[in-house]
Amino acid sequence: MTDDITISIDKDVCIGAGQCALTAPGVFTQDDDGYSELLPGKEDGGGDPLVHEAARACPVGAITVSGKGAEAGQAR
């Protein structure tokens, strides 16, 4: 469930691996320097069921999914 969630990307941690954009291209993209960023209006994941998987796929843990509804998709 992705209702009432907030997605954040720690730009100081991101290494630009692009796993988030590959996993959930409807939510994540990469800027001109190759670092991850959210697509405009997708700060809440836009209901994309792959948001949690994209956060788990980040090799450096730069993506945080938080808020009500985030618990259902959190990694163990």
Which domains does the chain carry?
Answer: 6-70 (3.30.70.20)
Contacts of 32 (CB under 8 A, 6+ apart): none
What's the pLDDT tens digit per position in 18-74?
A: 999 999 999 999 999 999 999 999 999 999 999 999 999 999 999 999 987 665 444
Q: CB count, 10 Å around CB of 74?
A: 11
> What pLDDT does residue 3 have?
63
What's the rounded Cα separation, in Å, for the pair 27 and 3? 14
Amino acid at position 68, single letter: K
What's the rounded Cα separation, in Å, for the pair 12 and 5? 22
Residue 9 has pLDDT above 80, yes or no: yes
What's the predicted TM-score (pTM) here? 0.83
Q: Which of 35, 48, 38, 40 is nearest to 7 (CA)?
A: 38
